[in-house]
Structures are given as C-alpha cells and as structure tokens.
C-alpha cells in the first residue's frame, strides 16, 4: 500500500493516506452495523447503484444503502470487498485506502454494476 501510494506522488498525500490507512485497517471490513459514516453514500434504488461511478480520495469510507424492496449485495470484481446480503434500508460500508478503480456488482442481480475510483485529490 505504502509503495503504491508513493508512486501516486505528493508527499503530503502519502502522510494523509497512510494515516487513514492505519485507522481503516482496524475497521476493515467495515460492518453493516456501523453507524452511518460521514463519507459519501451510494444508494441502491430500482436495481441501480447511484451514482454508478463515485470518485473519492484515499481513506474515504463509502456507504451503500439498499432502498429497494429486494435484497442486494455489493461485491468487488477483484473480491477485495464483499457485503452480506442487504435487505431494505440496510447498509454496508468500506474504507478505500489504496488508489485505483474498483468495479463492483450485485451478486444476486449481476446486471447491477458500479465503480469507485480512488485517487488523490
């Protein structure tokens, strides 16, 4: 992780990202039971992730909320994160520490896809 961040460039960001990374390590995988994070949310509405693509800085906690009457999941294409089944109004949070593009989908309804882009501000 550290090496990866270094390649991203700015020294100040290395400090921020690695500090956040340390914090995040303790809470990864963030559980659905955790209180709503202050970070950005992705809403699941009508079998669609909104926004479909979300850009965040390293260390950001993203929370997904299922607003459908049907259960959904959030599963990373590279399996780096995976939620339990979310029934109506249930949430899942994950803290992104490493820059990169994270494609994810709903393993029950695989036509539902989304992406989180993690990059330095």
Partner 1 sequence: MDDHHNAGEDRRGFLKCMAWAGTGALWTVSGGLASSISLDQAAARPMVAKSFSFVQLSDSHVGFAKPANPDAAATYREAVAKVIAMPVKPDFIIHTGDITQLSRDQEFDDADQIVKAAGLAVFHVPGEHDMLDEGAGKAYLDRYGKGSKGAGWYSFDHHGVHFVALVNVVNLKPGGMGSLGPEQLAWLEKDLAGRSSSTPIVVFAHMPLWTVYADWGWGTDDAAQALTHLKRFGSVTVLNGHIHQITRKVEGNVAFHTARSTAFPQPVGGQGPSPGPLKVPTEQLHSMLGITTASFVRGTEPIALIDATLAA
Rounded distance, CA 32 to CA 27, Å? Answer: 11
Q: Which of 7, 11, 110, 121 binds partner 1 (CB under 8 A)?
A: 110
Q: Which of 88, 100, 101, 117 binds partner 1 (CB under 8 A)?
A: 88
Q: Which of residues 32-61 bind partner 1 (CB under 8 A)?
A: 46-48
Kindly write down the DSSP assignment for every residue of 41-57, as one continuous string.
Answer: EEEEETTEEESSEEEE-
Asked if 65 interacts with partner 1 (CB under 8 A), we say no
Beta strand pairing status for 75-76 and 60-66?
unpaired
The residue (of 96 and 105) whose beta carbon lies closer to partner 1 is 105
HSE-up of residue 1 (Cα within 13 Å, Cβ side):
18
Asked if 113 interacts with partner 1 (CB under 8 A), we say yes
CB 119 within 8 A of CB 57: yes
Query: Which residues would be at the binding site for partner 1 (CB under 8 A)?
Result: 46-48, 68-71, 77, 84-85, 87-88, 103-105, 107-111, 113
């Amino acid at each position: 992780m550290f090496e990866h961040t270094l390649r991203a460039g700015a020294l100040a960001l290395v400090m921020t990202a690695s500090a956040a990374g340390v914090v995040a390590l303790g809470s990864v995988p963030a559980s659905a039971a955790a209180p709503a994070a202050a970070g950005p949310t992705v809403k699941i509405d009508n079998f669609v992730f909104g926004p479909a693509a979300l850009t965040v800085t390293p260390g950001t906690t993203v929370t997904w909320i299922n607003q459908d009457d049907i259960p959904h999941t959030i599963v990373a294409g590279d399996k780096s994160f995976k939620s339990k089944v979310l029934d109506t109004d249930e949430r899942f949070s994950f803290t992104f520490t490493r820059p990169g593009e994270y494609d994810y989908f709903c393993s029950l309804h695989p036509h539902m896809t989304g992406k989180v882009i993690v990059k330095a501000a």
